[in-house]
Structure formats: structure tokens, C-alpha cells
Amino acid sequence: MKNTFLIVVSLLTCSTLAQGHPPTLFEDHEFHDGPWIVIERIDHPDTFRQLDEILPTPDELRLASGAPGPEYWQQQVDY
């Protein structure tokens, strides 16, 4: 009895929520000429430029992988 009541209430709730949206919510996209989302271009002049122009070159302090190089020193703090 209790399970039947819960099933009926949940079905009524779901059907009410399904019919509760505005009728033109899903039909508006057919009448628009432009795109829905306008993607702004990022300020990079060339999308395919090389990473050496963006990332710093490796040296004795920092290797190309980003790991500390042979001349890297660690600062120590005495609290």
C-alpha cells in the first residue's frame, strides 16, 4: 500500500514537472539566425606557433622537463 502510494505520487510529480516548462523553450532555436554561443578569439596572433616562443628555454637552473637542473639551489628557511 505504501509503495503504491509512493509510486503514484512520484509519477504525478514527474508528469507535472515535465509539463511545467514554457512551450517555446525548445522551439526558439529553430528561429535564430546566428549561433547560440559566440566564442571570442583568444589574444594569440597565431594558433599554431611553437612552444619555444611561449615557454622559457631550458638552462642550468631549470631543465626542459621543468625539473631542477644541476645549478638549482633550494632556499632554506629556519623558523
| pLDDT tens sequence across 49-74 | 777 667 777 888 888 887 888 888 87
- Residue at grid coordinates 507535472: 16
pLDDT tens profile 10-34: 988 887 777 766 666 555 555 656 6
Round to whole Å and give the CA distance between 16 and 48: 52
CA proximity to 58, closest of 50, 69, 47, 48 = 69
* DSSP string across 14-67: HHHHHT-S-TTTTTGGGS-SS-SS-PPPPS-S-TT--GGGTSPPP-SSB-TTSS
Residues listed for the chain: 79
Please tell me the pTM assigned to this model.
0.29
All structural domains of the chain with their residue ranges: 2-41
